[in-house]
Structure formats: C-alpha cells, structure tokens
Structure 1
Amino acid sequence: MLDLARVQKELQECNKQIDVSGISIKPKGDRLTHLTGTIPGPLGTPYESGTFNIDIVLPDGYPFEPPRMQFATKVWHPNISSQSGAICLDILKDQWSPALTLKTALLSVQALLSAPEPDDPQDAVVAQQYLRDYQTFAGTARYWTETFARSSALGVEEKVQKLVEMGFPEALVRSTLESVGGDENMALEKLCSG
C-alpha cells in the first residue's frame, strides 16, 4: 500500500529547498500517486539553462518499489528516449532502495544529464551520435534544450496567444501547455484530440 504520509513529507522536504537545488515536485491532480518533478539542466552541459519536467507515477508498493519516471519535456540524450521520454537508469529499476526518495531519484536523473552512459543506451540513435560525433550531439542537445526546455514568460504567452487564436479556451490552453512542459506541438495535439 502506498505510504501517503511519506510522500507528503518527501514533497515538503524537496520543495523546502527549491531555492538551493532548483528541484521541485508537485501533485499532477488531487491525488499523490501522479506527480510532476522539475529539474534544472546541469551547468556546463548542453542542457544548461533548460528546465525539464518529469512525469512521476507512484506504484502501490512505493517506497518498496521504484517510482515510474519519464521525461515530459523532450530531451536529446543517449539514456532518455527522444520519442517517449523513457529513462534508462538503474535506480529506477533493479537498484532502487526504500532508503531513496523522490528527490534523490530526481537528483540521479539530473546527474545522468551530466554523465551519459552511451554504452547502455535508451535511444540507440542518440548514443551513436554521442560516440561518433560529439560536437553534433552537443549541438542537437543544446537545440532541443532551447526549443523544448526554455520557458521564458514571453514565449509561453506567445504560445498561449497562438493557441487561443485557433479557438481553444485560454484556461484549457494554459493547463494543457503546462501538462506537456510547454511543448506547443504536443499541446496542440492534445487539444485537438479532445
């Protein structure tokens, strides 16, 4: 059975230190089983200055089972699927321990951005590019960060305006954009599919 008291305590602890770590976790709805984690891109990497949203689903067995995490923000990285956002990281699978927390899991994901493991890839195409032509990889990763993970207020307002002009209600546009990490194309897809 999911330990809701522990989850609430973890959220409070994590969000208390947001100024220091830049990492936050908040419920996606009114239940504590579906969360959104936010991590800043590590300095000195192609992900620097990006803000990445991670979808977190807690299984009934949490904290004895690992949380299911995947990137909601598109990212170009050997250990993260460029299609689905799936993350290849041992602590999210067989190396999970109940002593770990959601924040330590997010810190590990952030560390993975700094230190890719191309020999154990989630995305073989990205891993090959990383190994064969690092400059092109870094340029692509930087471009994806600029395109999908930079959320300037002006950019968000422009996206909202554009989607509202297409006939969608503003409140729905804002909540949809937030749910897909600011990705305008994914928001449009979601809005059109109903």
Structure 2
Amino acid sequence: MANIATQRIQRELNEVAKFDEAQKKAISIEIVNGSLLEFIGKIAGPPDTPYEGGIFNLEIKIPPSYPFNPPKMRFITKIWHPNISSVTGAICLDILKDQWAAAMTIRTVLLSLQALLAAAEPDDPQDAVVARQYKEDHELFVQTAKHWTLVYARPDSDKEKWSNLDFDAKIAKLREVMGCDEHQARVALSSNNWDLDRATQSML
C-alpha cells in the first residue's frame, strides 16, 4: 500500500510544479528528509485578507493508505483563524476528514486551505476563542489576525511598516508585569480582546 502512496505522491509533485499557483509562489511543497511521505507545504495568504503578504508553512504527513485516506496536515506557522488552532495548528476542514475522496490531491487541499483563509467558517470552529472574536468584534479579529500574520508569517523587512503600536505596547506591558515571553503575552491579549486587565487575570 505504501508503494501506491509513494507513486501517487511522485506524480502529484510533478503536477504541482506545472500549475500557475506554483509559478506565482501561491502554493508549494517541499520534501522533508528525502521521504515521499513527509512534506512542508507553503501557502501564501490570499489578497484582501488579514493574511495577505504572509507565507504559512504546514506539516504534511502522508499515510501509507494514501490516496484512500487523507493526508494529515497542520499549520506550523502560528495563525489567528477560527478554523485553525492558535495553539497546535490543527485544522477543521471537512476534506481532511470524512469528506476526503481519493481523486483529491495535496494541491487541491492546499488550495482549499487558501480559500479557507479567505472565507472562514466561524460556526464550525477549531478554535472557539478566535471564532467568538470573529463573530462578536470582527474588526478586532481582523486587526489581531493581521498582527499575527505580521509577527509569524511576514518577512522581517515588512515589520516596521505594518506593526500595530497599541498591540506592541500592551504586549511589552504584560511581559513586564507577568515575566512571560512575547508569545505567551500575545496569546493572552489576543484571547481577551486586547484587554490588559483581563489578560493579566487569565495568566494568574
């Protein structure tokens, strides 16, 4: 069975390189450790979304039963999105579960994930905290998602131009008060709608 999987993957890799998305660097796949069962996928954040300009890396593991069972995928790059865990990178997407079909490919999954970044489904969340913010204070969600994209997914050269000074100041203050690292402060503030008092309480 594993032999079927590796043959199929080799064909898929050749196909991905031919498509326009690869030429435009919208999606790409890289082999890890010379194995045809382990990859790093990359997707570009779609235009006109909080993820624009970001490059998001995904861990892709191919089961020996592929293509009859879906690949296992999770985001390695941290991201603020209702359908992706801000903690583990786990993804809520039906084609990675019970809606998978053997005719699908890694390319179609990466394109579906790119579409998910452009059109979240907050009523079927992977991360309930993010989904609540998305529905209750959408503008704050957009600003938070942009901030996470800036910090975790954009090239260093962009950082000064796109930074949110208010968020940066609150992160610095929470780190000073709680003695935590930058990421812990960012998570606490993001999860508490950037309310410094509530974020502090959540860390006690």
- The 2-side partners of 1:21 and 1:49 are apart by 12
Which one has the largest radius of gyration?
2
**Corresponding residue for residue 53 of structure 1:** 57
TM-score, with length taken from structure 2: 0.73
What displacement does 1:26 show? Answer: 1.2
Task: Summarize the alignment of residues 53-92 of structure 1 with structure 2, pairs less than 5 Å apart.
Answer: 53-92=57-96
What displacement does 1:29 show? Answer: 1.1
CA RMSD of the aligned region, Å?
1.8
2:149 is aligned, of 145, 151, 163, to 145
**Corresponding residue for residue 10 of structure 2:** 8
Amino acid at match of 2:92: C
**Corresponding residue for residue 34 of structure 1:** 38
- The 1-side partners of 2:140 and 2:23 are apart by 33
Query: Percentage identity across aligned positions?
Result: 54
Q: Which has the higher contact order (CA 8 A, sep 6+)?
A: 1
SS of the counterpart of 1:70?
strand
What displacement does 1:153 show? Answer: 7.0
1:105 is aligned, of 109, 119, 123, to 109
What displacement does 1:111 show? Answer: 0.5
Q: How many residues get paired?
A: 157
Q: What per-residue deviation string (whole Å, max 9, x for no partner) do you get for residues 119-178 of structure 1?
A: 0000000000000000110000000000000124798xxxxxxxxxxxxxxxxxxxxxxx
SS of the counterpart of 1:33?
strand
2:98 is aligned, of 84, 94, 97, to 94
- The 2-side partners of 1:98 and 1:21 are apart by 26
- The 2-side partners of 1:6 and 1:30 are apart by 16
CA contact (8 A) 1:15 1:23 kept: no
The structure-2 alpha-carbon separation of the partners of 1:25 and 1:81, relative to structure 1 and needing over 3 Å to count, comes to: same
What displacement does 1:28 show? Answer: 1.3
Unaligned stretches of 5+ residues in structure 1: 156-183, 186-194
- The 2-side partners of 1:138 and 1:118 are apart by 13
What displacement does 1:53 show? Answer: 0.5
**Corresponding residue for residue 173 of structure 2:** none
CA contact (8 A) 1:46 1:139 kept: yes
Hey, which bits of structure 1, 4+ residues long, moved more than 3 A?
152-155
Unaligned stretches of 5+ residues in structure 2: 160-181, 184-204
Amino acid at match of 1:66: P
SS of the counterpart of 1:32?
strand
What displacement does 1:30 show? Answer: 1.3
Amino acid at match of 1:67: P
- The 2-side partners of 1:89 and 1:42 are apart by 17
- The 2-side partners of 1:4 and 1:66 are apart by 14
**Corresponding residue for residue 136 of structure 1:** 140
SS of the counterpart of 2:115?
helix
